[in-house]
Amino acid sequence: MGIISRLSPAALRILALLAVFAIVILFFASQIEGYLNGRLFNRISSSVAIMALIATGQTLVILTRNIDLSVGSVVGFTAFATGSIITNHPALNPLLLLLYAALVGTSFGIVNGLLVAYARVPSIIVTLATMALFRSFLVEYSNAKSITSDSLPTWLTDFPNLPVFSIGSLEFRAGFTASLVVVILVHLCLTRLRPARALFAVGSNPEAADMAGIDAKRVVFAAFALSGLMAGLAGFMFLARFGNITVVAGLGFELKSVASSVVGGVNIFGGSGSVIGAFLGAILVDLLETSLVRWAVVSEFWREAVLGALILLAVATDTILSRRLAKLRAKKSKEAAK
């Protein structure tokens, strides 16, 4: 108990998440024949590359006591818009295409940020509305057409599965590696850069942050802009991985991104959490989805129910853990004062 009281809440959340990982893997390994192999890692790592980026952006928003429900629509629009550009201009430089995807996503994030931070409309209302609006923009922009993989250059469709290095039968591919690099860079910014720490300050206590000279409006605006940026990059990755893009691209990513962040230990009430936790949460959510599809006992239609249950369980566990840890530390402080 003494060791637990000395650990930070973030460290406890990560340890609890790793314990859940072990339980899930051991359970499905006992239920599914040939479950533990390199193909499982390769399949999940390829799939989670997209959600890791979205969950990272969602985490930045949640840290400020807000939520972004428009990320799925932003991913879908960006994927289609990027696919349209490269279809019409196949010789376009890959870096320019990536920059275009990032700018499209960021522009949507800026719209959300302006409405939430400066118009002071609750984020759940704003992003629920823009989720529908951005999806409608996609329907109008697509003109009932689809992007197909045969119209895309091979460098784009080959990118996600391009091997970078291998450890035994575990293959680290370009898509997963690129997403992992982005997650690590954001994590380093949040832990090392003082301006990035303002996200935690605003989420923990907005009034105190204002008194400390932190511009809470600008911080919230930046969080939404960065969430849009991450969704734009995810849209690029979505296009590269799937190739075939329709008006329903990215549908349902809102729930998965929130689930990934909250399951990864990000406090839904803001102020605490990490993108590393959100990244692990995204892997856990994908692991469960993949395993449930292969487990014949449960219908795949229960996957959404499992995600909902995970969110409830994660929030309840985080609340209980935080309260008990606070009591332990308060008791320890009293004993030390005697």
Divide the 338 residues of the chain into consecutive groups of 10 and give the mean pLDDT of each group. 58 78 86 85 90 96 96 96 94 95 97 96 96 95 89 92 86 93 95 90 88 91 97 96 91 90 86 90 87 75 71 69 66 66
- Under 8 Å between Cβ of 224 and 33: no
What's the pLDDT at 9?
64
pTM value?
0.89
What's the pLDDT at 68?
96
In the numeric block, which tokens belong to residue 7?
A: 């650990």
Contacts of 301 (CB under 8 A, 6+ apart): none
Rounded to whole angstroms, what are the CA distances from 332 to 12, 159, 335, 337? Answer: 18, 53, 5, 9
In the numeric block, which tokens belong to residue 178?
A: 């690129």
Q: Pick the closest to residue 257 from 45, 9, 73, 14 (CA basis).
A: 73
What's the pLDDT at 320?
72
How many angstroms separate the CA atoms of 78 and 143, rounded?
15
How many angstroms separate the CA atoms of 281 and 287, rounded?
10
Place of tokens 């295409």: 97
What's the pLDDT at 185?
96
HEC profile for the chain? Answer: CHHHHHCCHHHHHHHHHHHHHHHHHHHHHHHCCCCCCHHHHHHHHHHHHHHHHHHHHHHHHHCCCCCCCCHHHHHHHHHHHHHHHHHHCCCCCHHHHHHHHHHHHHHHHHHHHHHHHHCCCCHHHHHHHHHHHHHHHHHHHHCCCCECHHHCCHHHHHHHHCEEEEECCEEEEHHHHHHHHHHHHHHHHHHHCHHHHHHHHHHHCHHHHHHCCCCHHHHHHHHHHHHHHHHHHHHHHHHHHHCCECCCCCCCHHHHHHHHHHHCCCCCCCCCCCHHHHHHHHHHHHHHHHHHHHCCCCCHHHHHHHHHHHHHHHHHHHHHHHHHHHHHHHHHHHHHHC
What's the pLDDT at 10?
67
What's the pLDDT at 325?
65
Contacts of 30 (CB under 8 A, 6+ apart): none
What's the pLDDT at 6?
62
Q: CA 53: distance to chain centroid? A: 5
